Amino acid sequence: MTSGLSSATPNRQTVRIQRNLQELTDNPLPFAYSLNLTTGEDNINQMTGILIGPDNTPYASGHFRFLIRYPPEYPFKPPEFYFTTPICHPNIDSKTGTACNDQLNATWAPSITLGKILFEMRALLEKPNYQVPVEGDNLEEKSEEKARSLTKEFAQPSNL
């Protein structure tokens, strides 16, 4: 896990994110790796990494790239989580990859760590909420068969 931040004196937000990243370096999650913190062109902190899909799901053994964008108000406002690997899921926008985790957003608190965010995103893959699909997506196109197919096509370690 590395940090590509160039700022000589990191702000409080950056320090907080780096501390969360160090916690995951010291106690890695078995389903997340290649975590990298950078500052985007718009001076927004962002993290990239890879999340491994849970067993016994259409995402099993898939290695899904993701991007987390931290808003200026973080940690008082939740970060945005995007899957950058194509994925078929009722709670992930097909066009943008935006993950919609209502539970995480509804219960957001500044004390929620990066580890908790990654656990929640993996849980989203494990238990899709078909009752609350992403607005505007066609739920009929979000089948488990299509999810397996996209996982095999785009989310294999050989594609990374």
pTM, two decimals, is 0.88
Instruction: Convert the pLDDT of each residue in 117-135 to its tens digit.
Output: 999 999 999 999 888 788 7
Q: Domain 2-159 belongs to what topology?
A: Ubiquitin Conjugating Enzyme (3.10.110)
Q: Which has the closest alpha carbon to 117: 34, 40, 51, 45?
A: 51
Catalytic residues: 100
Quick one: pLDDT at residue 129? 86
Instruction: Convert the pLDDT of each residue in 128-157 to its tens digit.
Output: 988 878 877 677 788 899 999 999 999 999
Write down the domain spans for the chain. Answer: 2-159
Quick one: pLDDT at residue 39? 87
Q: Which has the closest alpha carbon to 36: 158, 27, 25, 26?
A: 25
Quick one: pLDDT at residue 10? 62
Q: What angle do CA 83, 89, 92 make, to 5 degrees?
A: 45
Instruction: Convert the pLDDT of each residue in 41-52 to its tens digit.
Output: 788 899 999 999
Instruction: Convert the pLDDT of each residue in 11-45 to its tens digit.
Output: 889 899 999 999 999 999 999 999 999 987 788 89
Quick one: pLDDT at residue 6? 45
